[in-house]
Each structure stands twice: as C-alpha cells, then as structure tokens.
A and B are shown apart, each in its own frame.
Chain A
Amino acid sequence: MVLDHDVRMLEKNNIIVTTLEKIWNWGRAHSFWPLSYGCNCCPIEMMASGAARFDIARYGYEVFRASPRQADLLIVAGPVTVKMKPVVQRVYLQMPEPKWVLAMGNCAISGGPFKDGYSVLPGCDTFLPVDVYVPGCPPRPEALFHGLLELKAKVLGQR
C-alpha cells in the first residue's frame, strides 16, 4: 500500500502518480455519448443544445448515437408510458457498462402533468437507476448542460 506521504515525496520529485481508475473516469466523464431518445418537447431543447447557439459539442458530448451499443448515457426526455416502459428498459439493458441515466424534464422525473393518467408512469426512476434529474417543462439547454456537468462531477468522484 502506498502511503500519502510517499505519494507527496514522489510529486516533489516531479513524478505524478495516479490510478487507472482515475484515468478511466477522466475519459468517461469527458465523453458521454447520449442515445437519441425522446418524446416531444424535451428533445426539441436537446436538439437546440446541439445547434449553434448552445453547442453541446464544447463539452465533447455531441456524439448522439442511434445504436444503444455505442451509447453511454440514456437521456430520458419525456413521459414514459406503460407501453413504452419495456422498450426503454430493453434499450437501457442493451447499453454497455458503464452507463448513466439522466431524467430530463418534469415528465421523466415524476410524470409531470400526466402523473394521474392511466397510462403514464410516475417518473422513470420507478424502473431505471437515475443519476441526474434535470427539472423544467421543458428544461432549457443550459439546464441540460448543468445536468451533464453535474453528472461529470459525479463520475469524477467530486460529488
């Protein structure tokens, strides 16, 4: 086991010590590739976040993948109906580890205005492990970026 003062001694001699875990998390935190998934108005904001005015590419998160096999992040944008639930679940299970879920908008968080409907689930956290909630109806692109940066902080272990 390497003690803290050993590490500090090495750093004094210009030798930087890190763990593989830290490097991996650095890579993962800076390249979330989201899956293209959404229902109606949250995805419009998601598209706006990809376009010129907001530009999600600045953070390196612009690679929206159509195949769940290549995606890291499932942005649940919109209400999940009873009929949609098995599909979303299956898409989530098809994604390779490590993977994260971001609930975007009030519908995905709690069912929103459709909460009392017979066909809408009260939030996607009833069946998915949600990492970050981004409230809003729909949330602005800045809010989505804030959510993604919070997720980055979580992956880097700062939160």
Chain B
Amino acid sequence: MKGAETFFVDLARAIVNGLENMGMSALGAEIILLIIKFACIAGIVTVNIIILIWLERKISGFIQLRLGPNRLGPWGVFQTIADAIKLLTKEDIIPSQTDKIIFRTAPIVFIIISLMLYVVLPFGDGMAIVDLNLGVLYFISVGSLGTIALLMAGWGSNNKWSLLGAMRSVAQMISYEIPLVFSLLAVVMIAGSLNMSDIVNAQDKIWFVFLQPVAFITYFIAATAELNRGPFDMPEAEQELTAGAYTEYSGMRWALFFLAEYTNLFAVSALTAIMFFGGFKGPFLPSWLWLPIKAYIIMLVFFWLKWTLPRIRMDHLMAFSWKVLIPVTLANLVVTGCVLHFLK
C-alpha cells in the first residue's frame, strides 16, 4: 500500500537519479523529466477523451431510455475510435473567403490552452507537474483564454453563424468568469492559499463543500456556463446557429475543438474536486486514484445536467449571471470574510 501511494513520485525520482548517474546535469535531468510529464499528460488526455465521448453517448442514451452505441465491441466501446478514424480521413475544407491564418490557428490555440490547464492540477500527493503557488489564479486566467480561440474561429470563418456564436461565447464567458472567481475566492480565503496542494491539504478534516455550500452551487453553475455545456450551450446552439463558432470547420479541425471541450471538462471537474471535495484525499486507495474517481463522478453530474435541462435563452442567461449569481457570490464573500475575522 505504501509503495502504491508513492509509486509515481518514486518513479520520477528514479528517472532523475538515473539520468544524473549517467552524467547529466541536474537541470538537464529535470528538463527531461518535465518532457516525460507533458507526454504523460498528452497521453492521459487523449485516452480520457475517447472514454469520455463514449461515456457521454452511452449515458445520454440511458437518460433518454435508449441503449446508446452497442454494435462495435462490448457496450460499443470502439465507437469513438471509429469516429476518430473517420474524422481523421475527412476532407479538410478551408472556405475561400476565410481569414486563412486565423482559421487554421484557432483550433490549435484552443487545444493548447486546454492542455495548459493540466499543468497545475495535483493528480496525487506531490504529483502536480508544476506546483505553482498561484495555481488557482493560473488555472482561471489560462482557462478564460479559451474565449480568444473561439472568437478567432468565429471571426476567421467569415460566416454569420460563426461570428454570432463566437460573440455569444465571449459575452457568456466574460460574465460567468466573475461569479466563478468570486466563488473560488471564498474557498481560497478559508484555505489561505492559492496553491492547489495547500488547498487540498486544508481539507484534511472537512471538505469545503460543507463549509461553502453557496459558493459550491454558484461555482458549479458558472463552471457549466464556462464549459459551454448544456443547459448553457448557447455558443453552439444547433437549432439557431447551425454549429455556432464551429460551423465552417470540418474533419480534424472540428474534432480538435471537440477534443478541447472535453479536455476542459475533465480539467474543470478535477478543479471542482480539488476545491470542494478534498482533491486527492481519500481512504484505502492511493491518492492518484482518488482525484480521477472524484472528477469522473462530478463529470457524470455535468452529463446528467446537460441531458436533463433544456437550453436557456441568451438574455436570461446574461441576466442570471449579472443579477443573481454576482450579488449572491459577493454576499457570500462578505459573510465568509466576517466569519473568518471573528473566528480568529
């Protein structure tokens, strides 16, 4: 049990020691270790997405009393692989009237930004790739950069639906960024740190979801909107905007956007687990198993919301953020501050 708990940390140390014994400088060994870590992240993300898309299709089926994909392999697990092969071999259309450079870079920027989110997540005890002491701030600021990629896609496509979808997503993301940050701030105030490992360690006795139930609810709503997921999937509202910002994208370029959305989904679920559900802390199992388990459970709630609730109207969406969420989170911050002040 002890060995399982520190397996990855020991492995990393063994690699660094091995490289140094082979006559490499300490800095060189660290850099090679970083490259290995990033390769691992890319691998984890890819495999994870294949599972996630299959899971979402299966669960949407179960929610709608259907069976979901079940022809390819047991329970249809190879369905996503068939889709990926098809998307890879589709024709790559770049319409003649687009802004070619922006059109081409938008999906790449989007996926890079969503991969950057994984850098600060502590996957287990001492298993963050870079243990930033401003981890939460980094996560939020990098996460909100994704809007620029969407706007690039909408502008570069030179298509009215794309532009409308992109504009909607910018409006939505900017207004939901504020309650998101405010609700996370309440947690940060209790933990007294922006470092994610410290926040997890501060939840040794009690999860923050019990200390900050209001912040958790507002955070969850704002996160759903940030992820562009139902019931807030306005930017990709198929019935009104064809496919929103992605209308002109075909084949693998479109798939990159799709992958990036699921990458974001896992990252934000992991952040939820870290901020409110004790992150990698849990009994019996090693710490690097607890974070994926919790993140998957939170992701199931995201799926459940998406396939249960109808999409809400754009103006209601904005009004809800500015008139309900922001006052509630602000009041929550004030109350949290006062309680902390009098307890000290």
Residues of chain A having any CB pair with chain B under 8 Å: 23-24, 26-28, 30-31, 51-52, 55, 57-60, 62-63, 65-67, 69-70, 72, 94, 96-98
CA A55 – CA B58 in complex, angstroms? 12
B57 within 8 A of A: yes
Contact A96 B90 (CB under 8 A): yes
A-B contacts at CB below 8 angstroms, number: 94
Contact B247 A57 (CB under 8 A): no
Residue-wise, chain B 105-146 has the 8 Å CB interface mask toward A (1 for contact) of 000000000000000000000000000000000000000000
Contact B92 A66 (CB under 8 A): no
Chain B residues in 8 Å Cβ range of A70: 243, 246, 249-250, 254
Contact B89 A58 (CB under 8 A): no
Residues of chain B having any CB pair with chain A under 8 Å: 57, 61, 64-72, 76, 79, 81-86, 88-93, 238-239, 242-243, 246-251, 254
CA A109 – CA B61 in complex, angstroms? 32
CA A31 – CA B80 in complex, angstroms? 9
From known contacts A58-B70, A70-B254, A96-B250, infer whether A27 and B86 are also in contact, taking CB-CB under 8 Å: yes
Chain B residues in 8 Å Cβ range of A26: 82, 85
**What are 26 of the A-B contact pairs (CB < 8 Å)?**
A24-B85, A26-B82, A27-B85, A27-B89, A31-B82, A31-B83, A31-B86, A52-B66, A57-B61, A57-B68, A58-B70, A58-B71, A58-B76, A59-B69, A60-B72, A67-B242, A67-B246, A69-B93, A69-B247, A69-B249, A69-B250, A70-B249, A70-B250, A94-B93, A97-B91, A98-B90
Q: Who on chain A is nearest to B58 by CB?
A: A57
Chain B residues in 8 Å Cβ range of A58: 67-71, 76
CA A70 – CA B239 in complex, angstroms? 15
Nearest chain B CB to A140 CB, angstrom units? 18
